[in-house]
Structure 1
Amino acid sequence: MRIEDTGLEGLTIELSRLDLIMEDIGLVRADQWDYERVTYDRKIEVKGDVFYLRVQGYAVEGDVGGRYAVIKLLTPLLGKHYYPHGVEYGEGEHFPTGVINTSKKLLNQLSEALKNVSI
């Protein structure tokens, strides 16, 4: 599920700042990157189901593995995890209202945090 109108899509920010802000909000990059792309996840568990709020971006300057990169953010996604197959984002997926509300709250916090630091 794409979460539209968050104010995040198209924002650009230096990677090291983005890492700190994402960590403060509980979105983790871990090993989910290559030299051009980054993915930050927040795991949300509800009654045995696992959902992931995912914020992705790509490097518009530098590279993610180097000492410097500027990242442009994409539209956030909400997905449901199915073991062992992975995360599904399809429009046919059911997302509990609480998961959607939690995700939007986190994205609002992220948007506010990024307002004053984006390039």
Structure 2
Amino acid sequence: MRLENTGIEDSIVDLRPLDHLTGKHAFIRAGQWDYERVTYDYKIGSQEKNVTYYIRIQGHAIEGDVDRGDAVIKLLTPLLGKHYYPHGVEYGEAENFPESLVERAHTLVSKVADEIQHYKK
């Protein structure tokens, strides 16, 4: 599910402050990057058996290189996904998400977006 109107989409920010701000809000990049893209995930446990939810913030380098740490990242519209063990994460609009989870996802992404405003290019 796309999380529209969070204020983060189309933001342009240097990789280092982006890594810091997302980490501060428990969004983890870990090994989820390549030379041109970054992905930050926030994991949310569930009472449902073998189900975990993820909020995903993604971006792509418009300048520089993620590997060298000098990239300038343009952020995309965040996603809310549902991980089905052992099959993977589904982000489709056909997925059903509890309204409280959608609200929480919007709040978490909006907090990151507010802080990114200070570092936008």
> Fold match, TM over 0.5?
yes
Q: 1:118 aligns with which of 95, 117, 120?
A: 120
* Matched residue, 2:86: 84
Q: 1:95 aligns with which of 80, 84, 97?
A: 97
Give the superposition deviation at 1:67.
3.2
Tell me how many residue pairs correspond in the alignment.
119
Q: Distance in 2 between matches of 1:29 and 1:90?
A: 22
TM-score, with structure 2 as normaliser: 0.95
Percent same amino acid at aligned positions? 50
Gaps of 5+ in 2: none
Q: In the alignment, does 2:26 pair up with 1:26?
A: yes
Q: 1:106 aligns with which of 89, 102, 108?
A: 108
Q: Distance in 2 between matches of 1:5 and 1:102?
A: 14
Counterpart AA for 2:33: W
Q: 2:76 aligns with which of 74, 77, 84?
A: 74
Gaps of 5+ in 1: none
Poorly superposed stretches of 4+, deviation over 2 Å: none
Q: 2:66 aligns with which of 61, 64, 77?
A: 64
TM-score, with structure 1 as normaliser: 0.96
Q: Distance in 1 between matches of 2:30 and 2:2?
A: 22
Q: Distance in 2 between matches of 1:33 and 1:112?
A: 23
Q: State the SS of the aligned residue for 1:68.
A: coil
